[in-house]
A and B are shown apart, each in its own frame.
Chain A
């Protein structure tokens, strides 16, 4: 199909089209960072969109790769930023889903070595999974002589702003054993901060470990399907009647495509319309999965469709 330019995808939606689209959906999944909030600021109109969707009887879930908080902390953040009545069971975070995976899928018998932070520790603790991570080493200890725990059966890597060389080295030693599981909360390579700064993401730390061990991590978060399977196993969710709204093409949109769910790119976060269009126009077949079905400037664009007196 050389020369064929796909016109599929990246459809800008006007409010009547949004109404029609939402008419056909019983479930809306939202990414968080860059979609409903940025840092500590709600995207203008986002709380109202969520309330109205729920009023119209839609199931709303929040699917986030951000593994820095346990779910109860997210519940507080939702409340703090003006979102009413978002319950813990509507929040799927990669830290929570990693704990679920270890407990219910891998059924790990032994300890987990964690490269991560409090969010991950708390979710593991709540799931009853024993773990090691974050302990400081005695002065002068090196990877040649530090004690290694013989009960480690899995390594879980996620965002860790206290990452140091010893943690990386210990994880490598544990992963020498092919029976030791290798999990990553998510593959996000970096995240934007204010003033043009960036912060490395879980994907960056995972890359270090993959290179040093010549192994590939099993990824829990988007774009892997697992977080959708977590939702679908607890609630009756029909992919054909679900919508995924995200801001990152290689994470959220690819996730939606993998799960058979229609996708909306919102432009309040990381990815741009130009990037979406260049994937659409690309000849590489695998890049079609990064193309969103629809595009909105902000999810506040849903408001006119939802506020209208008409029935949905």
Chain B
């Protein structure tokens, strides 16, 4: 089919088209960063959209790769930013789902060595999954002679502002054992900050570990299906009646495609319309999975469904 350009996907919709789409969906899954908020600022209209959808009897879930906070902390953030009544059970974060995976899927017998922050530690603690305690300053400790814990049965890597060489080296030593699991909270390579700055993401730290061990991590977060399976196992969620709304083509849209959901790209975050159209016009079959079914400038456009035509 060389030269054939598919016209499916990237459909900019508004008003009555959004209404028609939402009428057919019982469940709406939102990514957080770049979709409902950016940093500490809600996307204007986002709290109203969430309320409106719930009023219409839809199930609303939040599916985020951001592993820096435990869920109770997210509940507080939602409240602080003006979203009313978002319950902990509606929030699926990669830290929470990693803990669920370790406890219920891998059923790990032993400790987890963590490269990550308090979000991950708190979720592991809540799930009752033992982990190697985060050391404070390891003055004088080096990979040549530091103690290694023989009970480590899994390594979990996620965003870690205290990432350093010794943590990386210890993780490598644990992963020499082929029976030691290798998990990553998410593959996000970087995240935008203000003023054109960027911060490396979990994906960057995972790449360091994959290269140093010649192993591939099992990824918990989007675009892997696991977080959707967590939702589906706790709530009856039919993919055909569900919509995934995200801002990152390689993460959120691919996730939606992998799970059989309709997908919508919102332009308040990372990915641009040009990138979406680039994937749409690509000759490579895999790239079609990154193409959103629908596009909106902002999820505030959902509020148009209340307007008179």
Q: Do A and B bind each other?
A: yes
Quick one: which of B176, B193, B207 has the most chain A CB within 10 A? B207
User: Which residues of A153-168 are within 8 A (CB) of B?
Assistant: 160-165, 168
Q: Inside 8 A of B165's CB, which chain A residues have their CB?
A: 160-164, 200
Q: Inside 8 A of A189's CB, which chain B residues have their CB?
A: 211-212, 214
A-B contact pairs, 6 of them (CB 8 A): A169-B198, A194-B144, A198-B213, A200-B172, A204-B168, A211-B190
Contact flags A30-62 to B (C-beta < 8 A → 1, else 0): 000000000000000000000000000000000
A73 to B285, CA, bound (A): 53
B114 to chain A minimum Cβ distance, whole angstroms, is: 15
A170 to chain B minimum Cβ distance, whole angstroms, is: 10
Q: Does A197 contact B (CB under 8 A)?
A: yes
Contact flags A199-215 to B (C-beta < 8 A → 1, else 0): 11101111111111110
Q: Inside 8 A of B213's CB, which chain A residues have their CB?
A: 190, 198
Q: Does A234 contact B (CB under 8 A)?
A: no
A194 to B145, CA, bound (A): 10
A123 to B208, CA, bound (A): 25
Stretch at the interface among B6-14, B120-128, B155-163: B155-163
Q: Given contacts A190-B212, A207-B211, is CB(A163)–CB(B144) below 8 Å?
A: no
User: What residue of chain A has the Cβ atom nearest to residue B204's Cβ?
Assistant: A212
Q: Inside 8 A of B232's CB, which chain A residues have their CB?
A: none
A117 to chain B minimum Cβ distance, whole angstroms, is: 10
Q: Does B107 contact A (CB under 8 A)?
A: no
A24 to B201, CA, bound (A): 52
B164 x A211 contact (CB < 8 A): no
B143 to chain A minimum Cβ distance, whole angstroms, is: 6
User: What residue of chain A has the Cβ atom nearest to residue B160's Cβ?
Assistant: A165
A212 x B144 contact (CB < 8 A): no
B207 x A196 contact (CB < 8 A): no
Q: Does B200 contact A (CB under 8 A)?
A: yes
Q: Does B209 contact A (CB under 8 A)?
A: yes
Knowing that A172-B200, A211-B206 are A-B contacts, what are 13 other residue pairs whose CB atoms are under 8 Å apart, sorted by A's residue number?
A165-B160, A168-B163, A172-B204, A173-B197, A173-B198, A199-B143, A200-B165, A200-B208, A200-B212, A206-B211, A211-B203, A212-B189, A213-B190
Q: Inside 8 A of A213's CB, which chain B residues have their CB?
A: 190, 198
Q: Does A105 contact B (CB under 8 A)?
A: no
B207 x A208 contact (CB < 8 A): yes
User: Which residues of B122-167 are within 8 A (CB) of A?
Assistant: 142-144, 160-166
B residues near A (Cβ < 8 Å) are: 142-144, 160-166, 168-169, 172-173, 176, 189-190, 193-194, 196-201, 203-214
Q: Inside 8 A of A109's CB, which chain B residues have their CB?
A: none
Q: How many A-B residue pairs have CB under 8 A?
A: 118
Quick one: which of B207, B208, B214 has the most chain A CB within 10 A? B208
Chain A interface residue count, CB cutoff 8 Å, equals 37
B205 x A144 contact (CB < 8 A): no
Contact of B199 among A143, A194, A211 (CB under 8 A): A143
Q: Inside 8 A of A164's CB, which chain B residues have their CB?
A: 162-165
Contact of A204 among B176, B196, B201, B208 (CB under 8 A): B208
Q: Does A142 contact B (CB under 8 A)?
A: yes
Q: Does A193 contact B (CB under 8 A)?
A: yes
Contact of A208 among B162, B164, B166, B205 (CB under 8 A): B205
A193 to chain B minimum Cβ distance, whole angstroms, is: 6
User: What residue of chain A has the Cβ atom nearest to residue B209's Cβ?
Assistant: A204
Q: Given contacts A164-B163, A197-B144, A198-B176, is CB(A169)–CB(B212) below 8 Å?
A: no
A210 to B208, CA, bound (A): 10
B194 x A144 contact (CB < 8 A): yes
Contact of B161 among A142, A148, A199 (CB under 8 A): A142
User: What residue of chain B has the Cβ atom nearest to residue A161's Cβ?
Assistant: B165
Contact of A212 among B162, B169, B200, B212 (CB under 8 A): B200
Q: Inside 8 A of A190's CB, which chain B residues have their CB?
A: 172, 211-214
Q: Inside 8 A of B176's CB, which chain A residues have their CB?
A: 196-198
Q: Inside 8 A of B163's CB, which chain A residues have their CB?
A: 164-165, 168
A20 to chain B minimum Cβ distance, whole angstroms, is: 37
A199 x B172 contact (CB < 8 A): yes
Contact flags A162-198 to B (C-beta < 8 A → 1, else 0): 1111001100110010000000000001100110111
Q: Inside 8 A of B173's CB, which chain A residues have their CB?
A: 196-198
